[in-house]
Structure formats: C-alpha cells, structure tokens
Amino acid sequence: MSIISPATATPLTVLTEEEEMFRGAVRDFAEEKVRPLSHEMDEKGALDTSLIPQCFELGLMGIEVPEGLGGAGGSFFLAVLAVEALSRVDPAVAILVDVQNTLVNNCLLRWASDEQKSRYLPKLASEWVGAYALSEPGAGSDAFGLETRAERRGDTWVLNGRKLWITNGAEASLYVVFANADPSQGYKGITAFIVERGFKGFSVGKKENKLGIRASSTTELILDGCEVPAANVLGEPGKGYKVSIETLNEGRIGIGAQMIGVAGGALAAATGYAKERRQFGKPIADFQGVQFQLAQAATELEAARLMVYNAARLKDAGQAFTQQAAMAKLFSSQVAERVTSLCVELLGGYGYTKEYPVEKYYRDAKIGTIYEGTSNMQLQTIAKLLLK
C-alpha cells in the first residue's frame, strides 16, 4: 500500500493550501455553529434544522458537484476532510454531509444521465438533502437479498417494499432506491431509481432511537405502489448491483473519515483533561502510564488517518482503491472504538457522565463497525482481493 500521494508525491498528511483553507473553514463552522448545539441534539435525538441551510451555504453538500451544476467543483479528498473535521465535533452532523457527498452525489455523478444530472445535482448542491436506500429488514450484509420489487407499467415503474436503516431519511427530498425488477435474474435484476419525496406511494416511516449519532435520522421508507417515472431509472435496468457496489466502495472511505474524526475529537478532549486533572499533587499527564496510553492512541489514530487519506487520494487519482477503502474503514472503526474507550477511562468517573464529551464519542464510535458494510464484510473484501 502506498503511503505517498500519487498525485503530488508528497506525504499524505501534507495538505495543499486549498485543502488547508477548506479544512480550516469546516473546523471553524464545527466549533462555532455545531458544538453549541451538539449536546442538546444528542439528548433530543434530532438534528437542529438550522444547521442544514448553513451546510449548503458553506458548500458542504455539493463538494464534488461541478461548478456548472451549482456545486463546489472540488475533489473527493475535500469531502473526506470535511467529514473528518465535522466528526471531531459531532459525527451526527458529519454523516449528513458524508451520505450527501460520498453516496448520493457520487452515485449521480457516476451513473446519472446528463438530463438527470442537470435536473437533480443543482438541487442537491443548494437545497435538497439526499439519502441512499439499499438496506431492508432482511437484507443487511446480504445486500442483494432485496424484497422490494419494481414493476414496469408503460412510462412508469411501480415500487413496493420497505427500506430500513436509511440515514438522512427524515430530512431528505431525494432518495436513491434499489429494487429488484426481475427476481428470476437474482441480483442481476436489481435496478436503481431516483425517487423524490413527493412521489405518489412514497412515505417515511419509523425513526429509530439509537445508541449513538443520535441526531442523525435513521428511518424506515415505505414504498406502497410508489410511482417512479421511467426517466428516473439510474444507470440501466438490471445494473443496480453494480451501482450499489461501486458507490459503497467510495462511501466506506467517508465512514473511515468519520471514525478518525471521532477518535481525534475524543483524544483531544482527553489530552486536555489530562493536563488539568491533578492527582497526587500533579497533573495526571505527568504520569508515564498516562503518557504511554495517549502516545499509543495517537499512533494508532495517525495510522488510521494515513489509510483513509491514502484511499481517498487513490480514488481521486483514478487508481484502484477498493481494498484500501475496506482496510481504511475496518481499521479506523477499530481504532475509534479503542481510542474512545480509553478516553472514557482516562476521565474516570467524569468520563462516564454526560457532562463531558467523551462518553458521546464512545457511543458514536460503535456505528463505524456496522454501517456501510460490517467489519466482517470488510475482511471478506480484503481477503478476496488479497487472494485473487
């Protein structure tokens, strides 16, 4: 695995001036606008709606969308930097931006027709939140075991079924929905559709009450004779499996960015606490046992960051990155669990209370091993490519 950016031949953690400025702007936004709301959003289990238009105004919802279509015309790496920076403060806000960029926008940029791009990308870059609807009650890791059906009726497709665990479900105006149009063909019958919230037969169902990233909406979608124009097929009929696989390969890098952000935020909080908390007449940061634990955590976090950045740089350079994306998601989610757990312990009793932020980081970290492909699924991907 290369640890040198193929595009610049410089260390991966060295950012260009544009990247540094962009990251700084996102960090400022996170600290000034998101952090004051984070605790309340977590308690209520809902995103403060005032943050959504601010994300659009800052250009965070259309980072890779071309300028001609209303976006920022940036790189995938910039999206990764944004997700990491937001996750240091609140990964529930970060996943709003992550799904929009690495899944929905990326999916349309790669697979949509020119007409679909001109119709939807300007809205996604300026006002519409997007969601990605693949999972179902019986189709999690077995993502292609879809029960949702699509039937062609003239110029309309009719969708019937339920989707589950849909991030951004409550806020979205556009959904990339996967359904099987020809079950006799197995996964080769799966087709992707662009579904608007206002389409007949479409509704948003139950919102989940979650352990972590609580402010991020995770909902059920109900497709009860949902009528979708034939012009809204994304890609080609029967190619939905390919659309989903290739999009999720990119999305996993985004989850990696979320996890290094979570770990980084927790470690910063614990380090600051260790410098101030005094026991036996001196700051606990003066004790070698504490120093070594912080050093180990920082080392693992840096390794995870290099893996995430490397995968993103490879993607932007047009090189193969599937294995690196799986490794980055796997390792960064493991590191996030270890680091956030340590940070709770370093704060002792205070770390177990909601008065300090580390317990939230600990809860928020767990999802990294689950969504957009469990750790076991990442290991399967890595092994498959390793042995190929």
Q: What is the pLDDT of residues 210-261, one digit of tens each?
A: 999 999 999 999 999 999 999 999 999 999 999 999 999 999 999 999 999 9
pTM attached to this predicted model: 0.95
**Catalytic residue selected from 64, 84, 250, 372:** 372
Among 129, 160, 190, the domain boundary falls at: 129
* Secondary structure E strands in the chain: 130-133, 149-153, 156-167, 174-180, 190-196, 202-207, 218-229, 233-234, 278-279, 282-283
Give yes or no: residues 145 and 112 share one domain. Answer: no
Please report whether residue 6 resides in a domain: no
Please report whether residue 1 resides in a domain: no
Please report whether residue 4 resides in a domain: no
Please give the pLDDT value at position 10: 67
Please report whether residue 367 resides in a domain: yes
Mean pLDDT of the chain: 96
Helix (H, G, I), strand (E, B) or coil at 13: coil
**Structural domain boundaries enclosing 369:** 242-387
Residue 252 is which amino acid? R
Helix (H, G, I), strand (E, B) or coil at 262: helix
**CATH classification of the domain holding 174:** 2.40.110.10
Give yes or no: residues 187 and 109 share one domain. Answer: no
Please report whether residue 111 resides in a domain: yes
Among 129, 148, 180, the domain boundary falls at: 129
Give yes or no: residues 260 and 227 share one domain. Answer: no
For tokens 């390969």, what's the residue? 249
Please report whether residue 72 resides in a domain: yes
**CATH classification of the domain holding 363:** 1.20.140.10
Nearest to 66 by CA among 125, 23, 16: 125
Give yes or no: residues 380 and 347 share one domain. Answer: yes
Helix (H, G, I), strand (E, B) or coil at 268: helix
Domains contained in the chain, number = 3
**CATH classification of the domain holding 89:** 1.10.540.10
Band of residue 132 on the pLDDT scale cut at 50, 70, 90: very high
pLDDT over 50 at 1, yes or no? no
Please report whether residue 105 resides in a domain: yes
Q: What is the DSSP string of 315-346?
A: HHTT---HHHHHHHHHHHHHHHHHHHHHHHHH
Q: Is residue 276 annotated as a catalytic residue, yes or no?
A: no
Give yes or no: residues 153 and 255 share one domain. Answer: no
pLDDT over 60 at 4, yes or no? no
Please report which helix (H) or strand (E) contains residue 387, including its range.
helix 375-387
